[in-house]
Amino acid sequence: MSQLIKMVVFDMAGTTVNENNIVYKTLRNAINTVGGFDLSLAEVLAHAAGREKLQAIKSVLKCCLNLVNDQLAEEMFNVFLQELAHAYEVEPVYPNANVEELFRLLKDRNVLRVLNTGYNRETAEALLVKLNWNVGRDVDALITASDVPMNRPHPDMINLAIEKFGIENPSSVVKIGDSIIDIQEGQNAGCRLSIGITTGAHNRLQLNSAHPNYIIDDLLELVSILDKHNV
């Protein structure tokens, strides 16, 4: 018998959280304002989605503008953090469709629910407060970009979750996210399944380029997938 799935690792923005791309709109604004550029949201999403946000800025500068400037990137990142904190205070943020029902179903099945994110811990925890999600009640853990040495597509965040809960084999773990780099993260961690979802940054064609095990349109589709593999 194959390993039972014991943990699902969820990305946050675009996967479990519906925030109307506030993060990447704010990131684009910080890059354009500080640098005097005119990058589109589509360009930012293509090269930044899912990444730790300082690295995301560096990726956008390099890929869109052929520009490598760590000092400029740091300045943009600091502006981004300030503007994002304000945006999360005033803009509406909602749980993604069916996510809270899915969290309850997974708890009933003794499947661990872990959030991981390219945010730093301060930003991620502020977002949980706004959503009224508690670690220990709604989810079992929150792992952020600032908790690990290397970020997506490296597997450090998933590895930390595996270590935290004493999971013996990554083939007991599923990763789900709305960006190519989420899928790659799960693959690099050796997860049983790496799943893309079409509710966020990347569309089905973009997600498919990373060769996920599945692409879904609704989080509740995960239930039948788990049933299929837990046999």
Q: Please report where in the chains the tokens 């029902």 appear, as a residue.
A: 101
Torsion of CA 25, 184, 154, 66, to 10 degrees: -50
Q: Which of 39-48, 84-93, 207-216 has the highest mean pLDDT?
A: 207-216
pLDDT of residue 2: 61
pLDDT, the chain, mean:
93
Q: Which two tokens stand for residue 117?
A: 């994110």
Q: Which two tokens stand for residue 184?
A: 């790659």
Closest listed residue to residue 157, CA positions, set 135, 171, 173: 173
pLDDT of residue 158: 97
pLDDT of residue 19: 84
For residues 107-134, give the mean pLDDT.
92
Q: Which two tokens stand for residue 172?
A: 């007991």
- pLDDT above 70: residue 231: no
For residues 125-154, give the mean pLDDT.
93
d(CA 231, CA 228): 7
| Distance from the Cα of residue 65 to its chain's centroid | 25
End-to-end CA distance of the chain: 7
Between residues 159 and 130, which one has the greater pLDDT? 159
Q: In which band, very low, low, confident or very high, does the pLDDT at 91 lie, cut at 50, 70 and 90?
A: confident
- pLDDT above 80: residue 148: yes
- pTM for the model stands at 0.88
pLDDT of residue 221: 97
Between residues 156 and 87, which one has the greater pLDDT? 156
d(CA 160, CA 125): 18
pLDDT of residue 1: 43
d(CA 192, CA 146): 25
Between residues 124 and 3, which one has the greater pLDDT? 124
d(CA 123, CA 85): 7
pLDDT of residue 103: 97
Report the run of H or E that residue 57 belongs to, with start and end. helix 53-65
pLDDT of residue 137: 95
Question: Out of 40-44, 51-55, 66-70, 203-207, which region has the weakest mean confidence (pLDDT)?
Answer: 51-55
In order of 115, 150, 216, the CA distances from 18 in angstroms are 14, 26, 16
High-pLDDT (> 90) share of the chain, %: 78
| Distance from the Cα of residue 87 to its chain's centroid | 19
Closest listed residue to residue 90, CA positions, set 143, 20, 27, 145: 20
